[in-house]
Structure 1
Amino acid sequence: MSKVLDALWRAIGYCFMPRVIFLSMLPVLLLGTVSTALAWFFWEPAAAAMTALVVDAPLLGDAIAWLDTWTGGVLRHVIGPLLLLVAVVPVLIIAALLLVSALMAPTLIGLVGRRRFEALERRGPLAWWRALGWTLGSIGAALAALVLTLPLWLIPPLALLLPPLILGWLTYRVMAHDVLAEHADAAERAALLREHRAPLLAIGVTCGYLGAAPSLIWAFGVLALPMAPLLLPVYVWLYTLVEVFAALWFAHYMLAALDARRQAAPVLQPLRVEIEPVDGVPMPGAPALPSSASPSASSSSSSLPNPPLLP
Structure 2
Amino acid sequence: MPLASAGSRLMFDAFWRAAAYCFRPRVMLLSVLPLIVMLVALGGWSYFFWSGTVATMQHWVETIGWLRTVFSWFGSSSTGGFAAGIAPFVVLILITPVAAVVALLVIALLMTPALVNMVTEQRFAQLAKKKGMGLVTSVLWALSTSAVAIVAFIVTMPLWLIPPLVLIVPPVIWGWLTYRVMSVDALADHASKAERDTLLQRHRWPLLLMGIISGYIGIAPSVVWASGMVFTIGFVVLIPIAVWIYAITFAFSSLWFIHFCLAALQQLRIENGEPGVPLPENHPVVLDKADGVLLPDAGEPK
Establish whether TM, by shorter chain, passes 0.5. Answer: yes
Distance 2:236 2:180 in 1: 31
Deviation at 1:157, TM superposition (A): 2.5
Change (3 A) 1:41 1:229: farther
Q: Which residue does the alignment assign to 1:11?
A: 18
Deviation at 1:265, TM superposition (A): 1.7
| Larger of the two Rg values belongs to structure | 1
Q: Tell me which of 203, 224, 238 is aligned to 2:245.
A: 238
2:160 counterpart letter in structure 1: W
1:17 counterpart letter in structure 2: R
Q: Which residue does the alignment assign to 2:153?
A: 146
Change (3 A) 1:67 1:54: farther
Distance 1:125 1:141 in 2: 23
Distance 1:217 1:116 in 2: 35
Q: Tell me which of 122, 126, 129 is aligned to 1:119.
A: 126
Deviation at 1:266, TM superposition (A): 3.7
Q: Which residue does the alignment assign to 1:263?
A: 270
Percent of residue pairs bearing the same amino acid type: 40
Distance 1:165 1:186 in 2: 26
Change (3 A) 1:13 1:230: closer
Structure 1 SS opposite 2:127: coil
Distance 1:67 1:82 in 2: 23
The aligned length equals 266
8 Å contact from structure 1 (residues 35, 233) kept in 2 = no
Q: Tell me which of 76, 88, 93 is aligned to 1:86.
A: 93
8 Å contact from structure 1 (residues 54, 61) kept in 2 = no
Distance 1:52 1:155 in 2: 25
Deviation at 1:256, TM superposition (A): 0.6
Q: Which residue does the alignment assign to 1:208?
A: 215
2:216 counterpart letter in structure 1: Y
Report Cα offsets for 1:214-269 as digits up to 9, x if no partner: 2234557873367556633221111111111111000000101111111122469x
Q: Which residue does the alignment assign to 1:59?
A: 66
Distance 1:236 1:96 in 2: 9
Q: TM-score, normalised by structure 1?
A: 0.77
Change (3 A) 1:114 1:50: same
8 Å contact from structure 1 (residues 68, 74) kept in 2 = no
Structure 1 unaligned regions, length at least 5? 269-311
8 Å contact from structure 2 (residues 224, 238) kept in 1 = no
2:214 counterpart letter in structure 1: C
Deviation at 1:60, TM superposition (A): 3.9
8 Å contact from structure 2 (residues 221, 245) kept in 1 = yes
- Greater shift in the superposed pair: 77-86 or 40-49: 40-49
Report Cα offsets for 1:176-224 as digits up to 9, x if no partner: 0011110010110010000000000001111111112222345578733
1:197 aligns with 2:204: yes
Distance 1:199 1:157 in 2: 23
Distance 1:16 1:65 in 2: 56
- Greater shift in the superposed pair: 148-157 or 109-118: 148-157
8 Å contact from structure 2 (residues 39, 240) kept in 1 = yes
Change (3 A) 1:42 1:228: farther
Distance 2:227 2:69 in 1: 23
8 Å contact from structure 1 (residues 68, 75) kept in 2 = no
Change (3 A) 1:67 1:122: farther
Change (3 A) 1:262 1:45: same
